[in-house]
């Protein structure tokens, strides 16, 4: 496994997850300057819970990378976004593909209502 120690399918979740597929824009936060880095990356959500989500991205990132996410709301126009901060908990490159599953933990105070 490239980053993080937990397996992506390990059931260590605090909250139930629901499957969703929304566009996600991921931006790395530069902790040394407390701003987001200029590079943005496109991804797709796979599932979400009150405290985190799993996304499919075109590249991997190290564990504990602080990020900002912009998630498209329920398939509406891309200008309708929900923003979250968080960090990469684990990264799992997909064999034979150039994509990676990423486990995201939302930042402190960013918990969402538990999905139904």
Specify the residue for token string 């891309």.
Answer: 78
pLDDT tens-digit readout, 23-40: 999 998 876 766 666 788
CB-CB contact of 58 with 106 (8 Å): no
Dihedral sign (CA 4, 68, 94, 15): positive
For 10, the token pair is 């390990």
* pLDDT beyond 80 at 11: no
DSSP code for 111: P
Nearest residue to 64 (alpha-carbon basis) of 100, 94, 35, 102: 102
- Label residue 89 by pLDDT band (50, 70, 90): very high
CB-CB contact of 109 with 102 (8 Å): no
- Region 58-82: mean pLDDT is 80
- Label residue 105 by pLDDT band (50, 70, 90): very high
Residue percentage of the chain with pLDDT more than 90: 42
- Region 12-16: mean pLDDT is 69
Q: Dihedral angle at the C-alpha atoms of 34, 40, 45, 46, nearest 10 degrees? A: -100
Supply the pLDDT for residue 90. Answer: 95
Least confident of 17-26, 35-44, 61-70, 88-97: 35-44
Q: The pTM is what? A: 0.74
- Strands 66-72, 52-57: pairing kind: unpaired
């Amino acid at each position: 496994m490239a980053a993080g120690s937990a397996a992506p399918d390990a059931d260590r979740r605090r909250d139930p997850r629901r499957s969703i597929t929304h566009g996600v824009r991921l931006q790395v936060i530069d902790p040394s300057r407390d701003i987001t880095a200029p590079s943005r990356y496109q991804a797709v959500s796979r599932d979400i819970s009150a405290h985190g989500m799993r996304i499919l991205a075109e590249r991997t990132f190290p564990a504990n990378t602080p990020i900002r996410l912009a998630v498209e709301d329920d398939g509406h126009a891309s200008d309708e976004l929900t923003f979250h901060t968080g960090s990469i908990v684990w990264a799992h490159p997909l064999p034979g593909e150039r994509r990676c599953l990423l486990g995201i933990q939302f930042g402190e105070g960013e918990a969402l209502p538990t999905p139904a």
